[in-house]
Amino acid sequence: MNQVDELERAILARAERLASEYRDRAGRSRDSILREAAERLRLREEREESIARALGERTFHQRVQASEIKLQTHLDRMRWNLVQGVERNLAERMRTFMRDEEAYGAWLLQLILGAARVMESDALLVNANIQDQHALYTSWDLISNHLPEGKEIGLVPKEQALDTLGGVLVTSADGRIRVDHTFEGRLERLRPRIQQTILERLLPGGFDTGNLFTG
């Protein structure tokens, strides 16, 4: 074998080694590129999935919130209608009670005397609607005789009669102290309790509408 042949074989061997090295390097590069591409694809899919989940949750919460607002509005309207119905029934019962003149008159007397006992004033005035003023005037001696000792009481002139369904308004002579026992005054004080009772009947578990959707 001459030197030319040996050189040729050496060159071929060197070329094969280089080719093998380049193939190995290319394979590693390809694997790295594929891994990076797969990782980028995974991250992009996770990001898109996260965005889609966030959008879905936001849409869901918006729909729940809209449903809660709608339900709240419906319940508020229902509560208002029920309160109005209760007030109408109470007014009708009051009119029925007022037709029993003896019982109603005794009740007015109790209201006046009760106010007189608790009011820190010796000079008092009583006001009522025009019909009740007339009835009180006819029995004024009875009222005066039952007053606590040291108390004086007068009836407001009929020109200043109250626009009320029934009951009385008792005030001190200077107007600084007042006990409102008119039907409307007592109803106003009872309204929170009436509404609370209605709410308890509507939603025994409470007035949190979110419980209906989220548990």
Q: Can you spell out the DSSP letters for 131-176? A: HHHHHHHHTHHHHHHTSPTT-EEEE--GGG----SSEEEEEETTSS
Report if residue 211 sits inside a domain. Answer: no
| DSSP state, residue 100 | S
CA–CA separation, 9 vs 90, rounded Å? 118
Total count of domains within the chain: 1
Q: Quick one: average pLDDT of 105-121?
A: 92
- In angstroms and rounded to an integer, the radius of gyration of the C-alpha atoms of the chain is 45
Which residues form the domain of 142?
Answer: 91-198
Task: Quote the pLDDT of residue 66.
Answer: 82
Three-state DSSP class for 24?
Answer: helix
Here the CATH number for the domain that contains residue 177 is: 3.30.2320.30
pLDDT digits (tens, 9 = 90+) for 117-169: 999 888 999 999 999 999 999 988 888 888 888 889 999 998 999 999 999 99
Asked if residue 75 has pLDDT above 90, the reply is no
The pTM of the full predicted model, rounded to 2 decimals, is 0.60
Answer yes or no: is 95 within a domain.
yes
* Residue 26 maps to a domain: no
Q: Is residue 54 part of a domain?
A: no
- Write down the mean pLDDT value for the chain: 83
Strands 167-172 and 178-182: antiparallel
Rounded to the nearest 10°, the torsion over CA 13, 18, 23, 26 is: 180
